[in-house]
Amino acid sequence: MKVENLLIIALIYITYSQMWLVVAAYGMFMYIKEAIFHQQAQTKWYKTERFK
């Protein structure tokens, strides 16, 4: 494996980690915002109907 490939792998890993932190921070922000202002979430999840 070349050093260039290792650098690309490291760059991809760091980028992915940073993007995940943004998503997690946004989720926490929205959760706290809903808890403080007692707002109902804009997105409602509907349970899929199951057939037997």
- For the chain, percent of residues with pLDDT exceeding 90: 48
Q: Would residue 8 count as lying in a domain?
A: no
**Considering the domain boundaries, does residue 18 fall inside one?**
yes
- The model's pTM is 0.56
Give the residue numbers spanning the domain of 27.
Answer: 14-41
Q: Given this model, what pLDDT does residue 50 score?
A: 79
pLDDT top residue among 40 and 7: 7
Task: Tell whether the model's pLDDT for residue 52 goes beyond 80.
Answer: no
What is the per-residue pLDDT for 35?
85
Report the domain count for the chain. 1
pLDDT value, residue 9: 93
Please say if the pLDDT value at position 41 is more than 90. no
3 lies in some domain: no
Q: Please tell me the distance from the alpha carbon of residue 39 to that of residue 33, in angstroms, as a whole number.
A: 8
Instruction: For residue 33, give both structure tokens.
Output: 């915002």
The single residue listed with the structure tokens 């057939």 is 51
Alpha carbon distance 4, 9 (integer Å): 9
pLDDT recorded at residue 29:
92
